[in-house]
Structure formats: C-alpha cells, structure tokens
Amino acid sequence: MAFPTLHARAEAKPMEHRSMLTPTTTKKLLDAGYPVLVERSPTNPQFARIFKDEEFEAAGATLIDEGSWESAPNDHIIIGLKELPEKDTPLSHTFVHFAHCYKNQGGWEQVLARFPRGGGTLYDLEFLQDPSGRRVAAFGYHAGFAGAAFAVKTWAWQLTHPTGVPLLGIDEFTDGRGYYENEDQLIAQLKEDIAAGEKVAGRKPTSLVLGALGRCGSGAVDLLEKIGCTEIKRWDLAETSEKPGPYPEIIESDIFVNCIYLSKPIPPFVNAESLASPNRKLSVVCDVSCDTTNPHNPIPIYSINTTFDKPTVAVPVESGPQLSVISIDHLPSALPREASEAFSEALLPSLLALKDRQTTPVWQGAEKLFQEKVATLPEGTAKRET
C-alpha cells in the first residue's frame, strides 16, 4: 500500500506538554517513506509542546498551522496524544490518540459517536496490543516515576511545613514552566527536599510500592532508589493474594504508592479504620492508578482527582501525622521529554506498520474494538451524517 500522510496535531489539553511523535521518531518515519506533517506548537505556555518546532523541522517534517487537522484531506491519518477538544461535529478522518471513551466514562457516547457520524475511525492508543494482550506502548513507567517523586516531595514538605499548608503547585518548583526539563533536574531538586526532611525527621522516608513488578511500579521504585530512599517494600500479586486488605504494612510506611490497575472489585488496601491505628506512620499516598470515581476504589479515603497546580488533598485524621493524597491523572506530563521519547519509541514499530493496518494484528484488533464499541452506542446516535 501507499504510505499515508501522518498529520501530528497540536495538543489541546492544559498542562499537557508531551508529544506522541518526537523529532527522533519523526525522522525514522520519514526515512521509511511516510510524509509527516507537524502542527506548530501552541504559543500559550499551558499547551506548549516540550519539543520545539525547529527540532521537528530539522528532522525533516513539514510544519503546518495549529488546528489545521480539521480541514486536512480525509486520507490523512490524524495522530495525537490526548482527547480532542469537546465538540459535536462529525469526524471523518482516521485518528490515533487516547480518547477515554471505551469504559463508560462520563460523556463517552458523545465522544465516540462523532466518529461513525462522520465516517471516521478511532484507533485508541490505550488498546493497541500485541498478540499476548500487552499494550505496545504505555506511559506507566514515567507515571510511577513522577508519582513517587511527588510523594517524596510531599513527605519533605509536610515535615518542613508542619502547620498543614498544602504542597504548592508544580509551577512553583519549575520556574513557572509547569514541568521539569529533564530527569536530572527533578532528581537534583528531590535530593534537596530529602535533605531538608531528613533534618527534621532524622531519617529518610520508608515506602511501600504496590504493583512493583509492573511498568508503573518499576518506575516508582527506580525513582526512590535514584534519590537514596532505598527502604522500599516491593509488593505485587504474591503479597496481596495471600490475604485481603487493609494491610498494616501500608499504614506503617511513610509513603504508599499504588500502581495497581483495578480490573475487578477487591478489598481496600487502606481505609478509614486502618488509618486509626496507633502504629500509623503513613503521611503520603500517591494513587497513580487514580480510580477515584470507581465504586470499588481500593483506596476509599479520598474522592477527587488532584492537579499539578493543587497536587494534594488532605485526608482528615484524628491523630498521628497529617495525611495527604496525590491523584494526578497525567503524571508523566511532569517529565514530558523523557516520557514522550520512551512512549514514541515503543510505539514506532506499530506506526511504521500503518500503511498495512488492514492486515497488521495490532491495528486490526484496535479497529475491531472500535466497531464493537460503536455497536454499543444508543440507537440513532451513530447514524452517518451526509
């Protein structure tokens, strides 16, 4: 088949600085024969892409105007990262991005129906899977890495601000950028935080990482080890299958990082009753999985997602140390360069197969799932508009 044109759209989600394509993967796609168009990065710093336009231009991509995907020829494949801006207009292109409309999320019908109404197709990045059922690319590692970083920063902040003042937003720690330019910058800052907290506590924090053997958990463990917080309980299925929660080991750790993807109802890992234990040291929970609205949320001690400008929510406790929860749903955006590079490189083999998507299992499976989900839309909402 001929090489389709890949049109990389600018992101429209505030504080989203990641990019599905990087200059490196763009050059590899161009070298393989794909025409690549890249929309210019938004000038608003809230939406600015971590990679400069000049980097894509140097790689050989053609720069085009932000938002021009809407008027692009229908045979262009529109690629991006996060969901499209909320509108009701039909969509006629083939799209590749995280749409967040396959799990009955709020408003899923309106999001999904736009594609069949315009004759378009959605390949959802979350559901691109290899033959074993494993996702071909995911941000899990950097979600765990950044989640553990915010947890450590909160632990130190609590000790140096004992009056209960909540952790400041990420802008305050990144010279107003809203993200760290690279991992080294983050690590250096965290080592300073740890030193300040250690002066008060007389020790470094202890941590329990649940889901430690997965992508997300390994990211959390790597971060903790890189900053010298090596007293870590690495828990996974073996530890949680032996007995149901709540687990005293969690509340006896300073930091709890949850990296478990919830697929079925399970007993809570921690709850209000367990927090009342006189043995509680726990002062920070980072729920990387963010199952906030799930009725079976295994951490039922909070009910809202937090944000980069307000990273923590306080949990009322009657005694013991203050307790904060971090539940930011796009943690890898704190490290947009490394997160984008790792994700894009993992996705590259699938992108290179886009010209053969009708016969390539990863794309065949994604299209089959799209059609199955469209079939569940309320009657009449998916009717093709002319």
Per DSSP bridges, beta strands 312-315 and 323-326 are antiparallel
Residue 369 marked ligand-binding: no
Q: Compute CA distances 128 → 8, 173, 271, 350, whole Å.
A: 18, 35, 35, 9
Residue 330 marked ligand-binding: yes
Residue 215 marked ligand-binding: yes
Distance, CA of 377 to CA of 115 (rounded, Å): 12
- Out of 13, 27, 76, 100, pick the active-site residue: 100
Distance of alpha carbon 305 from the chain centroid: 13
Residue 266 marked ligand-binding: no
Residue 328 marked ligand-binding: yes
| Amino acid occupying residue 112 | L
Structure tokens at 78: 């529109």
3-state helix, strand, coil in the chain (%, to 5): 35, 15, 50
Residue 117 marked ligand-binding: no
Residue 301 marked ligand-binding: no
Q: Compute CA distances 46 → 176, 178, 181, 366, whole Å.
A: 10, 8, 15, 31
Distance, CA of 133 to CA of 127 (rounded, Å): 9
For residue 250, give the nearest of 224, 269, 237 by alpha carbon: 269
Helix (H, G, I), strand (E, B) or coil at 122: strand
Burial (CB < 10 A; 0-12, 13-18, 19+), residue 162, is: exposed
Residue 40 marked ligand-binding: no
Residue 331 marked ligand-binding: yes
- Out of 27, 82, 191, 355, pick the active-site residue: 82
Distance, CA of 121 to CA of 371 (rounded, Å): 9
Helix (H, G, I), strand (E, B) or coil at 255: strand
Half-sphere exposure at residue 93, Cβ-oriented, CA atoms within 13 angstroms: 24
100 is catalytic: yes
Please list the active-site residues.
Answer: 82, 100
Q: Which residues are annotated as a binding site?
A: 134, 214-215, 236, 240, 261, 288, 328-331
Q: Which residues are annotated as a binding site for NAD(+)?
A: 134, 214-215, 236, 240, 261, 288, 328-331
